[in-house]
Structure 1
């Protein structure tokens, strides 16, 4: 039953945490921005000093603007630049500059158009602009003028922004729900580089699969994660050096993808990325390189990710519930570090993104909730122990049980204990001779004094049966000296009785005597009773034998001698160094054939260590 309850508890906790996790979708952009920041952190740990030579960037930089005097440059400069690149056998040319209006001098546009007409390896750029109004959106496009676009492919240069303003992904297409699909600047460059038709690269828009040399999955918006790990930098050449044909090594352009783009900060073409604050043309270079190397970052299977995370959660719950709080904390910390390390390794070596922040929060929630429920359980257990035992054991024993609840087995177990019985002699005849209220007052005074003595000697009050007292040592907590404690308690009770008799004599109250029987043996200890009422008690033959010894005190009493205190042979063997006894022969338990020696206790020597305690 306890195991079932434990399993149900774990499942309940796990279910509650899963529900909490599912509600993450309603938390909004905050949690997602944390996850994106964790991706940036993984990028920072994956920096490699790799110079990429597949892509060369022609910079529209400060030196070129200063050299060529003004911006925007006349378009015959661009015609000259395209011709120079073709002369040096560049394989592909991408121009990240908008040519969406006519030049003041039409001859410049014609010169640029002729340069484009002489080659088929140029991709120009366009940009989509969306202005959101109260009830509608206005969508406009900046595209190259027709005299240019008719001789070159045109791809959009828009990137998706995350909620924190960073760019981590790149679009492959836009307006995929419309008849006129727009392809990205980067995808068109790759398509021309591979010399494959777009219909082969994106054969079916519905399955969002990009087919290069091998397929990879696109996201819902046909975007993909840019892999900024593929290069630390690219080769940069100032625009004016190309125009003036002053390149130190023109061969670096042969068979390369060459990109034109603004790197002068005053042109405002910089973006925040996991790589830092970089220019738009560098962003395109990383996006193209991701497609070229077929190395986009991809999330691992969500089901597998969830199974892994929930396994960690279950392990954290299981360990935290049964371990000390500090050990549970360090175990949780270890599991979080392990999960984080696995996510970093998969990211670094396999370009795989493991959902990190939500599951770290999930694991922390599992730890906190488990600790909280454990605290509630422990407090409930303390209250339960206190309520069960406060009337039966000393406050010191209750405190010990609360500090060490594992020492308490309420379900039932076999244990060696020492059982104590005491009974007032001739109580029935006394109750018939004196007023009931007086007898009750006197009985309560007697029981109170004897119970205090039991508690003093760390015994457990099992029950009152009329004027009879039953007490136990060795339960609910184990005591190595249980037999000694019970004998010392009984001997002190005889002294207490003498004091009470002297007091009652002065008060002219009736006097009575008592008999005590003590036995040590193996019994069943536990919470015993019906479904509506239970008592923590002991049962077994040793209990009956202790009661039999108490009744024997009457049998061994006479006019000349009153026998008040009898112990069994098992108890005597444990206390014989401290007692003087008189052998009384053998006595059997009622209904049993076997009999054992019993002893009347004549004197007890209590060591000073026990007296001081």
Structure 2
């Protein structure tokens, strides 16, 4: 909980990009930059996953520059279009022919209209001229010729829808819509709606009743790039039957596959259901809210793109292809000549032939290589933003900088990986930009806050406490950096003194440089132990180190931490001695004194030199206790106050009741036992017997005390404590009992 409290401002600042991304994902605040980035990601991924192979089933008859040079400017005469149609459907035996061109105006290339004007004008008096012209009219009317070539053939014409304030209609739509106007529930839009159209001449429309619209939705993306094409669209005008009509690509595909009926499938939901897909038999085509499908581009466009075979329209008209060369192919006729302005911007090319857009849709339907923008895409976006946002907010704030960098990079990698897996493995087009941008912004803000705000607070605390306080305590102090200062205050704490014994003798045996390196090694080990137990190093005094617990951070268990640190310091010294024995160097020993009590802590000293330290009678007592360790033959001497504050941190053995120099009140002193010593003492009953020895000693029952001590001496004759009390008991037995004796031992030296 402390870590969260310390970092809550950093967590909060990291969540700001999350809120921004959520506003975009939920539609509260649409950000065009994120939409463009999503389009860019989609385009890059589409280009990276395109098959880039030739689809031999679909052929494009191209009105290119060479065809215009040979057949003349566009539009060509309808008798040429009739020859092209007959060539493809009869001599070449193609499966389906779709026209990505429109025939809105009557053909005037034959001169029939001009002959009629002459017959009714300057030559109106010429007998039989008008009748002869009308007799020849069917042969001279190229529209009739073209209509005859279309009649009862597998042909799909093209047309376009319009939406203007004053609806206009030109030509004729198919006699019946693909779906009736009441196909969908009322109250929602299931496809784009149009009020006007431009279609083929009625004569041609009736000859080839299958037709499809050519509209794309360039404006929907905002960048003029065609990524999706509507498969059905709603016509609500007055010049044809209202209802839902099909696109040219869908019409061509259906015509090539036996014209299966189209069945719309709505996504499960409430009253406002959404169109999920269009079913053609077993084929299910996913569509978006405009009844559009994502164009499954095969590769780069054009004759050199390698996705489809291109055949010059002039070659077809002139019969240059071998008979049956295009047998059973699906053929789309369109124009790539730049002057005819049928080049489109797509994700795979800025000048992509419009006819090839339809060819890619037909190819994708044949392969069932269909991309879907599911209705749960907004929910997916919200979920990814929330999960990634909270992972980053808490993870970046709580981890170290290197791990935070790994977390940020890992989060972005997971987002990209999952999104790409859904795209490649399940053909799902899902948003990614908002989560990625949120990740980048969250990382930048979090790291900036950590560097400019928390690091500044850390540097301030380090300046005050860095030389005294272990790093983990500085981290805790960052929870409330303003609560800590060097100002002196009185509080209950525990202080420890650790002094190296026989240092003078040791220094005489070592060179100064060697002695310095040795002290650095010892003090580094001891300081690490103190820091591990949350202690604050006060100072080093020659061969002595002083530390305290309970400041600058309040530590309720300061006494227990100090005792455990003392035990580990003694273990560390034993480890050092093992290394010294192996290397032939002298061994060392230490004496440790511990006391708890009220003392003053803060910034103390002179104007020239100050330090964060503790002072007071409790500190002086700890220093005196450290000097008693050698007297009692133990490494650690602790006051009764420390023992009372930490009774359960270890097993205690009472040493004595002492009066040290400068104090008028006796103090009980104890030593903490290591785990091994405590187990052995408990098993043999030494502690219980030792308590009885002290009790007899304080009653001045010298004989009982000596009898109780004898087994302890026999078990451990080298134990200094037992030898000390054996001497005391023997000496006291020679003296008369003192009625005023309190059992305390008086020490007159420090």
Secondary structure, aligned partner of 2:56: strand
Is the contact between residue 265 and residue 275 of structure 2 (CA under 8 Å) also seen in structure 1?
Answer: no
1:397 to 440, 449, 467: 467
1:150 to 206, 217, 231: 206
Deviations 1:516-575 (A, max 9, x none): xx9978x65664499xxxx9xx9998223996677879xxxxxxxxxx977454599889
Which residue in the other structure is 1:46 paired with?
Answer: 49
**Which aligned pairs between 1:217-228 and structure 2 lie closer than 5 A?**
217-228=286-297
Task: Sort the Cα spacing of 1:409 and 1:370 in 2 relative to 1 into closer, same or farther, 3 A.
Answer: closer
2:496 to 418, 423, 427: 418
1:356 to 432, 436, 440: 432
Quote the Cα distance in structure 2 between the aligned partners of 1:180 and 1:202.
17
Secondary structure, aligned partner of 1:93: strand
Q: Does 1:322 align with 2:437?
A: no
Secondary structure, aligned partner of 1:170: strand
Task: Sort the Cα spacing of 1:349 and 1:409 in 2 relative to 1 into closer, same or farther, 3 A.
Answer: closer
Is the contact between residue 568 and residue 598 of structure 1 (CA under 8 Å) also seen in structure 2?
Answer: no
Secondary structure, aligned partner of 1:148: helix
Is the contact between residue 298 and residue 352 of structure 1 (CA under 8 Å) also seen in structure 2?
Answer: yes
2:364 to 280, 290, 310: 290
Which residue in the other structure is 1:32 paired with?
Answer: 35
Quote the Cα distance in structure 2 between the aligned partners of 1:307 and 1:130.
38
Deviations 1:303-352 (A, max 9, x none): 34543454333333344223333442344234324433443444344422
Secondary structure, aligned partner of 1:150: helix
Is the contact between residue 494 and residue 597 of structure 2 (CA under 8 Å) also seen in structure 1?
Answer: no
Secondary structure, aligned partner of 1:181: strand
Is the contact between residue 497 and residue 546 of structure 2 (CA under 8 Å) also seen in structure 1?
Answer: yes
Is the contact between residue 230 and residue 247 of structure 2 (CA under 8 Å) also seen in structure 1?
Answer: yes
Cα deviation, residue 247, structure 1:
1.2
Secondary structure, aligned partner of 1:66: helix
Which residue in the other structure is 1:164 paired with?
Answer: 223
2:142 to 95, 99, 108: 108
Quote the Cα distance in structure 1 between the aligned partners of 2:14 and 2:53.
45
Task: Sort the Cα spacing of 1:350 and 1:570 in 2 relative to 1 into closer, same or farther, 3 A.
Answer: farther
Is the contact between residue 226 and residue 287 of structure 1 (CA under 8 Å) also seen in structure 2?
Answer: yes
1:266 to 339, 348, 351: 339
Quote the Cα distance in structure 1 between the aligned partners of 2:473 and 2:534.
14
Secondary structure, aligned partner of 1:355: coil
Task: Sort the Cα spacing of 1:180 and 1:43 in 2 relative to 1 into closer, same or farther, 3 A.
Answer: same
Q: Does 1:209 align with 2:277?
A: yes
Quote the Cα distance in structure 1 between the aligned partners of 2:222 and 2:448.
34
Cα deviation, residue 380, structure 1:
7.0
Give the total of aligned pairs: 487
**Which aligned pairs between 1:585-596 and structure 2 lie closer than 5 A?**
587=658, 594=669
Cα deviation, residue 112, structure 1:
0.4
Unaligned runs of 5+ in 2: 113-140, 167-192, 268-272, 301-305, 481-491, 499-526, 564-593, 600-615, 638-654, 672-744
Is the contact between residue 263 and residue 269 of structure 1 (CA under 8 Å) also seen in structure 2?
Answer: yes
Cα deviation, residue 241, structure 1:
1.7
Quote the Cα distance in structure 1 between the aligned partners of 2:147 and 2:621.
125
Deviations 1:458-506 (A, max 9, x none): xxxxxxxxxxxxxx999889899959726889xxxxxxxxxxxxxxxxx
Q: Does 1:126 align with 2:126?
A: no
Which residue in the other structure is 1:347 paired with?
Answer: 423
Task: Sort the Cα spacing of 1:273 and 1:310 in 2 relative to 1 into closer, same or farther, 3 A.
Answer: same
Cα deviation, residue 207, structure 1:
3.0
Deviations 1:433-460 (A, max 9, x none): xxxxxxxxxxxxxxxxxxxxxxxxxxxx
Quote the Cα distance in structure 2 between the aligned partners of 1:549 and 1:4.
36
Which residue in the other structure is 1:182 paired with?
Answer: 245
Q: Please report the RMSD computed on the Cα atoms of aligned residues, expressed in angstroms.
A: 4.8
Task: Sort the Cα spacing of 1:410 and 1:476 in 2 relative to 1 into closer, same or farther, 3 A.
Answer: farther
Larger Rg: 2
Task: Sort the Cα spacing of 1:265 and 1:570 in 2 relative to 1 into closer, same or farther, 3 A.
Answer: farther
2:84 to 81, 101, 117: 81
Is the contact between residue 209 and residue 217 of structure 1 (CA under 8 Å) also seen in structure 2?
Answer: yes
Is the contact between residue 494 and residue 562 of structure 2 (CA under 8 Å) also seen in structure 1?
Answer: no
Is the contact between residue 228 and residue 294 of structure 2 (CA under 8 Å) also seen in structure 1?
Answer: yes
Deviations 1:269-314 (A, max 9, x none): 1001112121111111012222333322223643345434543333
Quote the Cα distance in structure 1 between the aligned partners of 2:598 and 2:275.
84
Quote the Cα distance in structure 1 between the aligned partners of 2:203 and 2:621.
125
Which residue in the other structure is 1:55 paired with?
Answer: 58
Which residue in the other structure is 1:606 paired with?
Answer: none
Which structure carries more strand by proportion?
Answer: 1
Task: Sort the Cα spacing of 1:5 and 1:77 in 2 relative to 1 into closer, same or farther, 3 A.
Answer: same
Which residue in the other structure is 1:141 paired with?
Answer: 197
Secondary structure, aligned partner of 1:543: strand
Secondary structure, aligned partner of 2:320: coil
Secondary structure, aligned partner of 1:72: coil
Quote the Cα distance in structure 1 between the aligned partners of 2:536 and 2:455.
30
Which residue in the other structure is 2:676 paired with?
Answer: none
Secondary structure, aligned partner of 2:352: strand
Q: Which moved more, 1:9-18 or 1:153-162?
A: 9-18
Is the contact between residue 160 and residue 215 of structure 2 (CA under 8 Å) also seen in structure 1?
Answer: yes
Cα deviation, residue 147, structure 1:
0.7
Unaligned runs of 5+ in 1: 421-471, 490-517, 554-563, 577-583, 603-613
Q: Which moved more, 1:162-171 or 1:349-358?
A: 349-358
Is the contact between residue 158 and residue 200 of structure 2 (CA under 8 Å) also seen in structure 1?
Answer: yes
Quote the Cα distance in structure 1 between the aligned partners of 2:746 and 2:284.
92
Secondary structure, aligned partner of 1:253: coil
Cα deviation, residue 73, structure 1:
0.9
Deviations 1:96-138 (A, max 9, x none): 111001111361100001111142x1111112344589xxx99
Is the contact between residue 536 and residue 547 of structure 2 (CA under 8 Å) also seen in structure 1?
Answer: no
Which residue in the other structure is 2:595 paired with?
Answer: 542
| TM-score (ref. length: structure 1) | 0.66
